[in-house]
Amino acid sequence: MYQPLPDSSNANDGSWRIRVVQQPTNAKAAQGAKEKSRSPIDPPPIVKLDTFPHLSLHDPYIMVVASSVPTGKHEGESSQQHAKNMTGSMVSSLHRLKDLQNQESGFFIFPDLLIKIPGDFKLHFALMKMKTNPSDPGDLGEWETVAETDSDPFKVYTSKDYPGMAESTVMTRSFSDQGVKVRLRKDSRKLTTAKRNHQVAQNARNT
């Protein structure tokens, strides 16, 4: 299992710090599902770079890596098993965007993460920075973990029990307007209910 650094969401010493600002709510298990019917973790998890020493928001040498951590019956599995539980784009580079208060900040966005099996999970996010030679910035070294944090727990449903994806959040829409590639959607649960009501009404007219 991974050995976490102290939770960066509690850091106050000016070191690296990341925080989940858009929490996952649910997902539909992707294992065995057809590509078109897969539903990613909803809403798209978003991690904010809160504090950082000597960094430009254009820095290409940092990224956040996401992994799934079972919190229910699968808890205690190895990190290799954790990796096998998730698919999609598990790495995000830094996006320089304006938040909902119109303040420019750095964000890492995960619009298409999928969990393969049903159960209770949380997401672990690791902020990685590439080591560079101070005397030669072009001399690149290994990636090191400089901060970590976890999402709130969420549930992954079977296709049968999945309640559907919700309408895109204000934050998701705002970042889409700023050029981030993320799918926008209306509340599929409302659409399903509307279709069902329409069908009931249609059947009533035909009887």
At 96, which helix (H) or strand (E)?
strand 95-98
Average pLDDT over residues 45-51: 93
Residues 6+ apart with CB under 8 A from 137: none
Q: Domains of the chain: which residue ranges?
A: 16-204
* Amino acid identity for residue 100 in this structure: L
Helices (H), the chain: 79-84, 170-177, 188-206
Higher pLDDT, 201 or 39: 39
DSSP annotation string for 153-168: PEEEE-TTT---PPPP
pLDDT at 3 over 60: no
Structure confidence at residue 24 as a pLDDT band (50, 70, 90): very high
pLDDT, tens digit (0-9, with 9 covering 90-100), for 129-180:
988 766 666 666 789 999 999 999 999 999 899 999 899 999 999 999 999 9
Determine the Cα–Cα distance for residues 41 and 38; give it in Å rounded to an integer.
10
Q: What is the architecture of the domain spanning 16-204?
A: Sandwich (2.60)
> Of all helices (H) and strands (E), which one includes residue 170?
helix 170-177
Task: Assign 85 a pLDDT band (cuts: 50, 70, 90).
Answer: confident
Please list the helix, strand and coil fractions of the chain in percent, rounded to the nearest 5, in that order: 20, 40, 45
62, with CB counted inside 10 A (0-12, 13-18, 19+), is buried
Bridge partners (DSSP) of residue 160 are none
| pLDDT confidence bin for 46, thresholds 50/70/90 | very high
Encode pLDDT of 181-193 as tens digits.
998 876 544 444 4
Q: Is the pLDDT of residue 196 over 80?
A: no
**pLDDT at residue 35, as a whole number:** 55
Task: Tell me which of 13-17, 131-135, 192-196 is least confident.
Answer: 192-196
